Structure 1
Amino acid sequence: MSLTTGNQLKAARALAGINQTELSERAGVNVNTIRNMEGRGAETLVSGLDTVRKVQSALEAAGVIFLDDGDATAGGPGVRLGRSDRGARG
């Protein structure tokens, strides 16, 4: 399961309850990188693999679970929140 689109990233960040600046700090990337990634919308991310992995890992640490195309009920890549005790607010 992996982070593939800007919309998926934006949804994951919203579920984790963190803003772009906080995510950029947790992932160790520039906030403009997060903005540009989210700006891709439904298109596939074009950021480097290392960057995408850092962002995905930061969101997974906040309790987000990434769903591939076949896993999401809407028929595309998606996200859901894992156990509530792993969330960013806890």
Structure 2
Amino acid sequence: MATPAQIRAARALLGITVDQLSAKSGISAFLILQTEAEEQANVDPATLHALKLALQASGILFIGDGDSPPGGVGVRFAERDDEEDGVRPEDLNAANDD
């Protein structure tokens, strides 16, 4: 299950507002703010689940405790097929500067 801290972190990572997450999840903006501010024990599991699903659909991967040694719970971007690999450091030069 996701934690309130993971929901906050995932929203920040995506750079989306509470209103945008509300539109994606069907959860009211007020309830999202309450959820993000609460301790784990006080949060409705159904609310956390709905928020987690909306954030996963936006490209977030939730990391459980012990899933990524040696760290604890967290979030990161999931791999995306539509992204370029970029330019390797040894190939950087003035010609490919943006």
Q: Tell me the TM-score normalized by structure 2.
A: 0.71
Q: Which of 30, 33, 36 pairs up with 2:31?
A: 33
The residue identity in structure 2 corresponding to 1:81 is F
CA RMSD of superposed structures (Å): 2.1
1:65 paired with 2:64, answer: no
Q: State which drifts further: 47-56 or 60-69.
A: 47-56
Aligned-pair CA distance for 1:22: 0.6
Q: Which of 8, 11, 14 pairs up with 1:13?
A: 11
Tell me how many residue pairs correspond in the alignment. 82
Q: 1:72 to 1:7 in 2, by over 3 A?
A: farther
Higher relative contact order (CA 8 A, sep 6+): 1
Q: Which structure has the larger Rg?
A: 2
Q: Give the unaligned 5+ runs of structure 1.
A: none
Q: Give the unaligned 5+ runs of structure 2.
A: 84-98
> Does the 8 Å contact 1:37/1:45 carry over to 2?
no
Aligned-pair CA distance for 1:45: 5.2
Write the distance in 1 (CA, Å) between the matches of 2:43 and 2:37: 12
CA displacement 1:15-39 (0-9 Å, x = unmatched):
1221111101111011111101111
Aligned-pair CA distance for 1:73: 5.5
Aligned-pair CA distance for 1:72: 4.6
Q: Tell me the TM-score normalized by structure 1.
A: 0.76
Q: Which runs of 4+ in 1 moved over 3 A?
A: 72-75
Q: State which drifts further: 22-31 or 76-85.
A: 76-85
Aligned-pair CA distance for 1:59: 0.1
